[in-house]
Structure 1
Amino acid sequence: MLVLRPIQKTDFDALKTIAVESGHGFTSLPVDDELLSNKINRSVESFAKSVSKPYDEGYLFVLEDTQTGEIIGTTAIEAAVGMSVPLYHYHLGKTVHHSRTLGVYNTVDILSMCNDYTGSSEICTLFLREGHRQGLAGRFLSRSRFLFMAEHAERFSDTVIAEMRGVSDEHGHSPFWQWLQEHFFSIEFPQADHLVGLGDKVFICELMPKYPIYANLLSPEAQAVIGKVHEKTKPALRLLQKEGFEHRGYVDLFDAGPTVEAKLDNIRTVRESFKGEVEIVASLPDKLPSLAISNGRLDAFKATFTDQAYLCEAEEKIQLTAEVANALDVTQGELINAFKL
């Protein structure tokens, strides 16, 4: 059975393997032992911390195959971004050049650097290893984060964002960055991306253009990728769009990938989740719809998905087999949360 749980210090080797496999553009998991160790320690401390409102906590989860002990995926939530290190975006807006005398009216797209998402919660670091991407695992890994956030809403902002990986080639080169590099920088995209992953963002203030950029002055290749996602990121974007996330014109500074947003209470998983008492049963009918289920705890959080569970909405109960109850570490009569995958 696949169980999502908070990362532990003993998961370091598994996390590093995932960091290596994630490749270029996955800045939240750079291949750096010290940084990965710090991420794990920060997560452990965040789960243990008493919180009344979000600040700078980070919650990192792993998806474990309980039969083999293998870690097959990871995902994370940042409680409030930009609080200790500034979070930068470009916002795609418009400006009008109008001359009544000449009869000219031109609307031009502009990119303005901003920190508008400061204090928002961010879902991030979603990665499922090759060989495990069939079936419902990816959908579960994405949506189960929202159950955790709803169960511990005091730890998160009302606004939730997700930065989507932008377009780059097999060597990690971004058409958008190539234009910026030519005019403002002297470093390659993978190096800039790596520095951001390490938390070193000083160079952004030092070298990024301070004034709005006219999008029509960019190369055709750079213009074509503004607000577009990497081919491998399209499934993740579709999942978030089904949850109610929208793109409101904010894009990444380096690869111009879109940042999407939603209000926590409006997210589909949060709205459709069902809370009920555990009822452990000997067996259940075949061909039940798959449910994602969470035990609702904090540092002992566990979630899984299964077709060996049934929602008894009229009785406000969730029937589980003993195997599923054991995987979630829950007992008869305990309150848990579920939603239909």
Structure 2
Amino acid sequence: MRHIPLGGTGIQVSEVGFGGIPIIRLDSGQAQRVVRHALDRGVNFIDTAHMYLDSEEKIGKAVAGRRQEVVLASKTIQRQGGPALEQLETSLRRIGTDHIELYQFHQVSQDADLDALLAPSGAYEALSKARDAGKIGHLGISSHNLAMAVRLVETGLFATIQFPLNFIETAALDELIPKARAAGMAYLAMKPFAGGMIDSARTAFAYLRQHPDCIPLPGFDTIEGVDEVLDLYESPNALDEEARTGMERIVGELGGRFCHRCEYCQPCPQGVRITPAMMYRVVSIRMSPRTAASFSAVAMESVRQCVDCGECLEKCPYGLPIPEMLREHLELYDAHRLLPKP
């Protein structure tokens, strides 16, 4: 496994990382085996978050005794200083470490989020002090809003930017990635499988390997899945006719009816958490039905507040029938929520 610079941090990381969401559906022993297998194959960069249920605990147990081999990244969703520090301390405790190499501000996609975290006594100020104290190596940030992501890069405040990149979602290529590269920031490619919409590792990574300084963070929940991706990195990349045909098939199947997570539709006047609710069908592919229902409960319950006012329809740049899709996802969520326990 080739190792490359994590932007200008001075840290070397594997050219493909380990995304920490899917292991939440595994028991602790299974999760540890998958993580350790990835480490044995040369992956040394693991990305998780405070809000990924028990992912941090499982990763902490998996890397126990091998901590010096691993570059850990986690995230906080908090924008205020005190709560952000609380989440950092919780992450450190869960993982069983006294420092995290990369700590990211999670899903900063709206002006209000950025304003809050950069305000006096906000999360940036508090976590900068934690960085100075040695609890954090570097501060990064993630977003799903392209305009905001570009703005975040331009602040010069962060070591890394995490944003989607796959052959379906290519918006970062024209401006965001070149700006990050010029700023010495690492580009962490979230959603290499487009949140479950891409079903072929060979096709997904034939595309991604065209951008070798962008570090993809696929989520793994099986040893076989780890091997499927990492085996691809042991031979020259082949963006051949088979891969191109696979890309065309998937793009054709999706059409225009999927959420791009730009968040232009928000905030909803009724308090519906539109973006995560629009992603429920994809979440239910990535997790077991009951786990998906539990993971997305807050967002999906908020859909019941929808009054079909149509405001989101006017804001969506992709012309999605958002209320209709939300009702479909709510029906699926209710079916999953009511499944009997195994």
The interval holding the TM-score normalised by the smaller chain is under 0.3
TM-score (norm 2): 0.25
Q: Which has the larger radius of gyration?
A: 1
Structure in which a larger fraction of residues adopt helix: 2
TM-score (norm 1): 0.25
Structure in which a larger fraction of residues adopt strand: 1
